[in-house]
Amino acid sequence: MATPARRQGNHARRVIVAAVVLSVIATTLVAVLGGRFLPPGNGSTQATGQVLDNTVMLAIVTPIIALLVVFFVYSLSQFRHRGGALVDGPPLRDDPHVRVWWLVVTSVTVLFLAGFGSYELLQNGSGGGQGPSPIAIPNGKMLPVQVIAQQWQFTYRYPTYGGLETPQLVLPADTYIELHVTSLDAIHSFWATELGIKADANPGVDNVAYLQTKSPRTFHVRCAELCGLWHGYMFNNGRVVPQPQFTAWVKSQQRDFSAVAKYLPKYSKSYYPDPQRRAG
Ligand SMILES: [Cu+2]
């Protein structure tokens, strides 16, 4: 007959073998399929980078989830109470090997993720707002586009096209965009979901975020900061279009808004609400 220690050893071996097998299968699936299913998709270079980050983090946590699932299922099937008197199980004992391995594995994981995350962030800002003096600046020519949030809509200004301001965000494909996100009133947050861009819009602050568009597509823009009564309705759609279509669109917008363009304030990094209009 097997001794209690031998039986415990068998349990541990079975759980570890099953967890390793499940981990290898599940982690392979995550690595192969993660890029296809994880948010925010492939809408920009920054979004693709975020999918990679999400895949790496999911792949790291998969073996831990596999071990927990196997241990849970194994415990339910092997250690359930099967009638008779309830007896206490064997006592839990400290194990110095487990302690050392726990410290080594968790420290290596956290340090690797810190290094990987910092490297990814410094490539191109990863789609986040970097404040008025960004440190992760991509190389190359940029198209500046200003995002102006106010209760409860976004408008967009194109300083290199005469400070044109429109209620639609249209961007040229395969282009590096320098977004300048600001607000006229409360704190909002500009979130272009499929492009992987999210940057706070604060009044009086020029929050810079970088975006490299890919092929033409539509995308959603949402406010991601509770900003008042109609926050839930603060959304619109944007488009990434081929360069010639973008140029034609800019011309049509300049024509459409020519009558009111002269009332716009001069292009500036940030604006404050008009006190007279506010009083009225
Ligand atoms: Cu909002």
Residue-wise pLDDT for 61-77, tens only, equals 999 999 999 999 999 99
Round to whole Å and give the CA distance between 165 and 155.
7
Question: Buried b / exposed e across 3-24, counting CB within 10 Å, b at 16+?
Answer: eeeeeeeeeeeebeebbeebbe
- Residue 80 is predicted with a pLDDT of 85
What distance in angstroms lies between residue 188's CA and the mean position of ligand 1's atoms?
A: 5
What stretches of the chain show up as alpha helix (H) in DSSP?
A: 4-37, 45-78, 96-124, 243-256, 258-261, 275-279
Question: Do 198 and 189 contact (CB within 8 A), yes or no?
Answer: yes
Strand 176-183 with 188-192, pairing:
unpaired
What distance in angstroms lies between residue 17's CA and the mean position of ligand 1's atoms?
A: 50
Round to whole Å and give the CA distance between 42 and 132.
27
Structure token digits, residue 78: 């092997």
What distance in angstroms lies between residue 149's CA and the mean position of ligand 1's atoms?
A: 9
What distance in angstroms lies between residue 150's CA and the mean position of ligand 1's atoms?
A: 9
What distance in angstroms lies between residue 201's CA and the mean position of ligand 1's atoms?
A: 10
Read off the pLDDT of each residue in 11-32 and give the average, rounded to a whole number.
95
Identify the CA nearest to 182 among candidates 71, 268, 91: 268
What distance in angstroms lies between residue 153's CA and the mean position of ligand 1's atoms?
A: 9
H or E segment at 265?
A: none
Write the DSSP assignment of 202-261 as a string of letters.
-BT--EEEEEEB-SSEEEEEEE-S--STTGGG-EEEEEEE-HHHHHHHHHHHHHHTHHHH
What distance in angstroms lies between residue 178's CA and the mean position of ligand 1's atoms?
A: 22
Residue-wise pLDDT for 157-183, tens only, equals 999 998 899 999 999 999 999 999 999
What distance in angstroms lies between residue 14's CA and the mean position of ligand 1's atoms?
A: 52
Give residue 279's pLDDT band: very low, low, confident or very high (50, 70, 90).
very low
What distance in angstroms lies between residue 43's CA and the mean position of ligand 1's atoms?
A: 23
Q: pTM value?
A: 0.85
What distance in angstroms lies between residue 186's CA and the mean position of ligand 1's atoms?
A: 8
